[in-house]
Amino acid sequence: MKIAAISDIHGNIYSLMKVLEDIDEQKVDLTVCLGDLVGYGPHPNEVVALIKRREIPCIKGNYDASVVDGDFTFIRNTSINSFSLPWASEEVRASNKFYLSQLPTELNYDINGVKIKFTHGSPNAINEYLFEGAENTKNVMESLEEDILVCAHTHIPSYKKFGDKTFINTGSVGKPKIGSPNATYVLIEIKEDKTVNVKVRELEYEYKRIVKDAQMLKFPGQLVSSYESGTE
C-alpha cells in the first residue's frame, strides 16, 4: 500500500495543486493531510475547499487551531504572525473554521500489520517541534507504541530509524524551510511483508504566482520573500 503524507499547506493553493497532481501520478492508495491548511498564504478558503472536495483525511494543525481561536493559542507571536493570524482569522469563512475546529489531532492506521500514527507536531502537543536529531524526538520515539510516526510542523522533511521504529516528517507543501521555494511531501510504501519504504518528493511549482498575489494584498515583505527563499 502506498500512502502520500502532506502537510503545512498554509493557504498556498498553487503548491497544493501541484502536489496533488504529482500524487495522482504516483498512484497512491491513500493521501493523509497533517494539518496547517491555513495561515500565511493568501488562499486559505481555496485550500480547505480542495482538501474537502478530494475527501482527504486531515488532522488539525497548530495554525488551524489558532485561526479558529483568533488568538496566539498555539503559534508564536512573531512580527509575521502578528499580521498573518488576524488576516487569516478574518479571511477564513465561518464554515471553514467549523471544519477546522472539528478535525482530530491525530489519525491512526493499521496497514498490513504495520501501525502508523499521524500527528501535526508530536503525540504530546500539536505545536511541539520534532527534529530528527533532537532529544525530545528520541524520547517520543522510545515511548511510541506504533511502528511509524508521521509528523510535520517543522517544514523540513526527514526520515530516520529509531531502533525498530520509523520517524518521518513530511516537510511543507506551501511554505518550505529548505532553502528553496520547492514543495515537499512524503511517499510511504508498506508492503505485505511489512517492509517500509520512504521517499521524500520535492517539487517545483509556480511560486511567482503566490508572490504576486501576496504583493497585491500588501502582505509584509518578509513573508512575501520567504516564498522565494524557502526560509522562515
Q: What is the pLDDT of residues 107-128, one digit of tens each?
A: 999 999 999 999 999 999 999 9
Tell me which residues of the chain have a pLDDT lower than 70. Answer: none
Q: Under a CB-based contact definition with an 8 Å cutoff, are residues 223 and 40 in contact?
A: yes
The bridge status of strand 148-151 relative to strand 114-119 is parallel
**In the chain, what are the domains?**
2-229 (3.60.21.10)
pTM above 0.85, yes or no: yes
Q: Which residue has the cell 511517499?
A: 187
Q: If we measure between CA atoms, which residue out of 175, 39, 29 comes closest to residue 100?
A: 39
pLDDT at 107: 98
pLDDT at 232: 85
Is residue 137 helix, strand or coil? helix
CA-to-CA dists, residue 26 to 1, 20, 43, 116, 215, angstroms? 12, 10, 26, 21, 34
Q: If we measure between CA atoms, which residue out of 41, 79, 33 comes closest to residue 60?
A: 33
Q: If we measure between CA atoms, which residue out of 110, 90, 76 comes closest to residue 38?
A: 90
Digit-coded pLDDT (tens) for 153-190: 999 999 999 999 999 999 999 999 999 999 999 999 99
